[in-house]
Chains A and B, each alone.
Chain A
Amino acid sequence: MKLTKTFCTVLAVVGLIGFSNLSYAAGEAEELPDMSWEFEGPFGHYDKAALQRGLQVYRNVCSACHSLKRVRFRNLEALGYDESQIKAIAAEYTVTDGPNDEGEMFDRPARPSDAFPSPYANDKQAAYANNGAIPPDLSLITKARAGGATYTAALLHGYEDPPAEWAEKNQLLPGQYYNKYMAGHVIAMPPPLAEGQVAYEDGTETTVEQYSRDVAHFLNWAAEPELEERKRMGVKVFLFLLAFAGIMFAVKKRVWSDIKGK
């Protein structure tokens, strides 16, 4: 018993040391700030007002450079918009369709079944417009970065002046910016947000921090639109299995009651 106990303790210690950062932080980048999100935890859910504000930030700012190609306008229903509102939002975008009966491609206003169009015709154009860096599609960005929404939010207000040695050596090339949360600290995205840039209608403060939070919240929804349904179902499945296991345990005890020690 003593051996087993020692063993378990040592194992737990190794486990804690090892697994606390198994997906080892990229070394150079700064530790992420502590942020809490409404959608975390087993009962987590999105905040519709935040999602709508986040959409507003995306549409007014990020969409100039970033596509959101896996999200369709009709999906915005989850943000609390009704059909006519969604139609109106979609109609503000132009998509290329075709060929028509004459064999020509043509532009038309987007419909709810279309996805958010990309700001660039192709990757070459995107790179050309951004000093050689391609702004990634944002539909999966919170899943595609360790740190998820927290990383995304932190990144957007993580711009700083480079340290003195960097400035001396001119380490930043034109079109590069210093960001303390980016791996390697060098990012090709100019600081996208400025205070008061987007006019919120619900009276929420219009700081860079608030914008970052809201757009990260929205992007988390874009990456995991199933999150609320998943967690709701998870709670039910878990409770069902727990009850089932409890019953099985009782049955097992009964069945075995005449066996142990005989």
Chain B
Amino acid sequence: MASGPREKFDNNVIEWVDSRLPIFTMLQKEYGVFPTPKNFNYFWNFGAILMIMLGIMIITGITLAMHYTANANLAFDSVERIMRDVNYGWLLRYIHANGASFFFIAVYIHIFRGLYYGSYKQPRELLWMFGVTIFLLMMATAFMGYVLPWGQMSFWGAQVITSFFSAIPLVGEEITVWLRGGFSIDNATLTRFFALHYLMPFVIAAVVALHVWALHVTGSNNPLGIDVKTKQDTLPFNPYYTIKDSFGVLVFMLFYVGFVFFAPNVLGHADNYIPANPLVTPAHIVPEWYFLPFYAILRAFTFGVNLPILIGLAITAFAMKPFFSNKTKEEINLKTVGITFAIAGIFFLIGYFSQYQLESGETMILGGSFISAAFIDAKLCGVLAMFGSIAILFVLPFMDKHPVRSARFRPWFRIATLLLVLDFFVLMVCGAKPAEGFWVPLSQVAMLYYMGYFIIGIPFLSKFEPVLDLPDSIHQAVTQGKTKKSVKKKA
């Protein structure tokens, strides 16, 4: 790191340390004078907010661990002791529990920012992938943390989520037993989840360090999505962004504190105040709100892959081929693509409805069970789609070849992405509802949009979305007020 030539510090102590380990030089370089685009909007506050949240979670978490007992017979009572007998135990616990929710609120906004302004694109691909890794680790950490109070939702949530793995062919059962540390959710599950829940935040901290390191190699993106060209485009991080971040963090804290003190259990589920009972299944097992969209994707698969759907998938892949090739948009015949998609769609519909028929036992107008029976069953499809919906974020930088980053200059991408946000909320609502009636097809349509956005939308837009004129520089755009799209097509 900063081991090159170094400027002397006036303070003797600092200078003594810095000449032996140039940590102050590094801080000065990375957070003092670090050149930062001068046109950030408030979406750029969320990185700092996430840092603070991680700190809060680690500090409150360690303190809670001092009073918590990871034993299936004692865990629930130990949490209640924290709430009632430990000095300010209720405060620690509510900060930590609501902190998880606010951590996710912040990370979802942070990810949206990256998506909308094209921060995932060249040269920030690796930075983005570290981010997705953090997101995955956060999900694992939050899931295991929710198990620790050993209430009804803890227990049954763990039951449902670990059983996903049993969908894996051949080794599924073994993996599930291995994860649970036994044939059922039990003391062994609780103790290992506690150990891992304690460990993971430090792994997250390490990946955050890599994330920020990568950020400081490429420098930040900005709402215009254009590269920094001259010194005029940037400001030193301190004081401009230290101040702006402090303000942003405080506003975020106002919302957070509102929940901690005035509605500490609104984001949780009442059933988790009932001690875990393996003999009583709750009427509705629902995950934490931040997992709902992915849970909805999982449950959207009331159908599996059968022969017609497999054929449909193959035709879709064929239709998408030109979008992943070097062909220019003139060389792609949209009409052919459209027809191919329509054919694929017909196969999907046949596959979908024939399974529906098979299940409801109605007369088979579409051939026997050989054609309609799913060979990749619904459960496995759901699990694959759920993990796939996150995994796809890893490869996003390599699927989006459009030269423009920011949605401000990509009107088509902008609409598609805003619809994705809407879609995400629709999925969230579907995930909370019982998987019946109207909610099933709705979640299926929403799931299709989510997948379609990435698999079809992004490659399609890469080729066909017009490239607009971009401002020459950040400085010019800011001074001349040309921060919004200058809808002039490049000839």
Query: Are A3 and B90 closer than 8 Å at their CB atoms?
Result: no
Which residues in chain B, 91-107, are within 8 Å of chain A measured between CB atoms? 91, 94
* In contact, B261 and A234 (Cβ under 8 angstroms): yes
Contact between chains at B432 and A140 (CB < 8 Å): no
Q: With A3-B418, A24-B434 known to touch, is A241 a contact of B80 (CB < 8 Å)?
A: no
Q: CB-CB contacts of B15-45 with A at 8 A, as 1s and 0s?
A: 0000000000000000000000010000000
> How near does chain A come to B248, taking the closest CB pair, in angstroms?
9
Does the CB pair A14–B283 fall under 8 Å? no
B273 in contact (CB, < 8 A): yes
A244 vs B422: C-alpha distance in the bound complex, in angstroms? 34
Closest to A230 in B: B261
Known: A241-B250, A248-B243. A18 touches B422 (CB 8 A): no
Q: Which residues of B contact A26 (CB under 8 A)?
A: 283-284
Cβ contact of B90, chosen from A23, A70, A145, A226, cutoff 8 A = A226
A–B complex contacts, Cβ < 8 Å, 16 sampled: A3-B418, A14-B422, A14-B426, A14-B429, A18-B426, A26-B284, A27-B434, A143-B270, A146-B270, A230-B94, A231-B262, A237-B261, A238-B254, A241-B254, A251-B243, A259-B240
Q: Is A255 an interface residue (CB 8 A)?
A: yes
Complex partner residue of A255 from B91, B239, B261, CB under 8 angstroms: B239
Q: Which residues of A contact B429 (CB under 8 A)?
A: 14, 17-19, 22
Interfacial chain B residues near A251, Cβ < 8 Å: 243
Q: Which 7 A-B pairs have the closest CB atoms?
A: A234-B261, A18-B429, A245-B250, A144-B273, A248-B247, A143-B273, A226-B90
| B253: A residues at CB distance < 8 A | 241, 245
B361 CB within 8 Å of chain A:
no
- How many angstroms between the C-alpha atoms of A235 and B265 in the bound complex? 18
- Known contacts A11-B421, A260-B478; 17 additional CB pairs below 8 A are A7-B418, A14-B425, A14-B429, A24-B432, A24-B433, A140-B274, A143-B265, A143-B270, A225-B84, A226-B84, A230-B91, A234-B260, A234-B261, A238-B261, A241-B257, A245-B247, A259-B240
Q: How far is the CA of A233 from the CA of B418 in the complex (A)?
A: 39
What size tier do the contact residues of chain B reach?
35 or more
> With an 8 A cutoff between CB atoms, is A88 at the interface?
no
B241-265 contact mask (Cβ, 8 Å, vs A): 1 or 0: 0011011001101100110111011
Instruction: Give every chain A residue within 8 A of B289 (Cβ-Cβ).
Output: 22
* Interface residue? A37 (CB, 8 A): no
- Hey, which chain A residues are within 8 Å of B428, CB to CB? 18
In the complex, what's the smallest C-beta–C-beta distance from B241 to chain A, in angstroms? 10
Q: How large is the interface on A (under 10, 10 to 19, 20 to 34, 35 or more residues)?
A: 35 or more
Tell me what chain A mostly uses at the interface: helix, strand, loop, or mixed.
Answer: helix
CA distance A139 to B422 in the complex (A): 41
Which of A7, A10, A255 is in CB contact (< 8 Å) with B243? A255
In the assembled complex, which residues on chain A have CB atoms less than 8 Å from the CB atom of B84?
A: 70, 225-226
Which chain A residues border B286 with CB–CB below 8 Å?
A: 23
A252, chain B: closest CB distance, angstroms: 5
Residues of B within 8 A of A93 (CB): none
CB of A200 within 8 Å of the partner chain: no
Contacts of A7 in B (CB 8 A): 418, 421-422
Given the interface pairs A146-B270, A241-B250, A248-B250, the reply to whether A226 lies near B261 with Cβ below 8 Å is no
The listed residue (A42, A144, A249, A256) touching B240 by CB distance below 8 A is: A256
Contacts of B192 in A (CB 8 A): none
Bound-complex Cα distance A259 to B232 (A): 11
> A252 near B244 (CB under 8 angstroms)?
yes
Q: Say yes or no: is B269 at the interface (Cβ < 8 Å to chain A).
A: yes
Contact of B401 with A by CB under 8 A: no
Closest to A8 in B: B418
B243 touches A144 (CB 8 A): no
